[in-house]
Amino acid sequence: MDLDVFVTAHRPEWDRLERLLRRGKRLTGQEADELVALYQRTATHLSLLQSSAPDPMLVGRLTQLVARARATVTGSRRSGWRDVVGFLTAGFPAAVYRSRRWWIPTALLSTALAVVIGLWIGSQPEVQAAIAAPEELRDLTRPGGGYETYYSSHPAASFAAQVWTNNAQAAAMCLVLGAFLGLPVIWVLFQNMLNLGVGIGLMADAGRLDTFLGLILPHGLLELTAVFVAAGTGLKLGWTVIDPGPRTRRAALAAEGRAALGMAIGLALVLFVSGVIEGFVTPSGLPTWARISIGVAAELAFLTYVFALGGRAARAGETGDLEQAGRSAVLPTAA
């Protein structure tokens, strides 16, 4: 494309569109029809420039022009409770459901890794000695020791808030860093599984694995599921960089990135629930079976939410992406 020729040929149309936009509501019927036609043509011009001859200043001007024209043509749209309900009942569960082929294997492999690490640490005294001194390990694993008092060391409300913040940050890191070919996601996930494996190994060696599982399972089932979903989605985003499929790499990354952003918000809500369980249920005086039952119920509720509600929404065409009106034009529109 000869950029100078292209600009010379179409600048009058862009200038005319800008003049019509300045008139606002004072447009006549004929001018309103002209504005719609110019908006469609300018959106086509923008797509052509983005795909074949990107010029930052020109693309920036046309992007702003198309956005203003879209707002004028479609009318301003305000988010409200309907958007929140739609996101929670369709967008978020559908996005999680669509990513299941990534996060389910991630969950299975990660859990297996944590178990292997735990078995290795539990059977290797020299590895345990490298982790901490024997007296420190005894303080961690004894009745009333570090692993048990951790969950009751702070007031429940502040502890739940702290846990929620930390876990939400970890999930967000997995989602955001996925664009770097997924490599940082693998590291974040490994660190989480390593910590879990160390706890399993040390408490198993002390003969108190049942106590450890009674402390981890109430909140850990839902918490780890959220982390696995975030990690799987991040890995999917990283794979999109390598293989965008039939879409252009830019369009594929934009769509998957928007879905990942929405998923970060949804997972923050899921982690809030697990944080409440960790802050109030895990250190409570309830019997172990009752605490674990609460954790299992929360996990089953989330999986039902994803596979029933999300599966139905995904089959109906929901992807978790923004509505069409909220997206940038990625393909030329009819002029």
Q: Which two tokens stand for residue 89?
A: 């009942």
**pLDDT in the model for residue 155:** 66
**pLDDT in the model for residue 156:** 65
Q: Is the dihedral of CA 203, 206, 209, 210 positive or negative?
A: negative
pLDDT, mean of each 10-residue run, the chain (335 residues): 80 89 78 86 82 71 84 64 84 92 95 95 90 86 79 66 72 78 86 90 89 90 93 88 82 78 86 90 89 95 95 87 48 41
**pLDDT in the model for residue 305:** 96
Distance CA 290, CA 334 (A): 61
| Angle ∠(71,73,74) on CA atoms, nearest 5 | 65
Cα separations (Å) of 28 from 35, 40, 68, 250?
10, 19, 18, 38
Helices (H), 24-91: 29-52, 56-74, 81-86
Count of residues in the chain: 335
Q: Is the dihedral of CA 230, 231, 237, 243 positive or negative?
A: negative
Domain spans of the chain, in order of start: 3-74, 82-326
CB 131 within 8 A of CB 146: no
Residue 334 has what DSSP assignment? Answer: P
**pLDDT in the model for residue 190:** 92
**pLDDT in the model for residue 222:** 94
**pLDDT in the model for residue 54:** 61
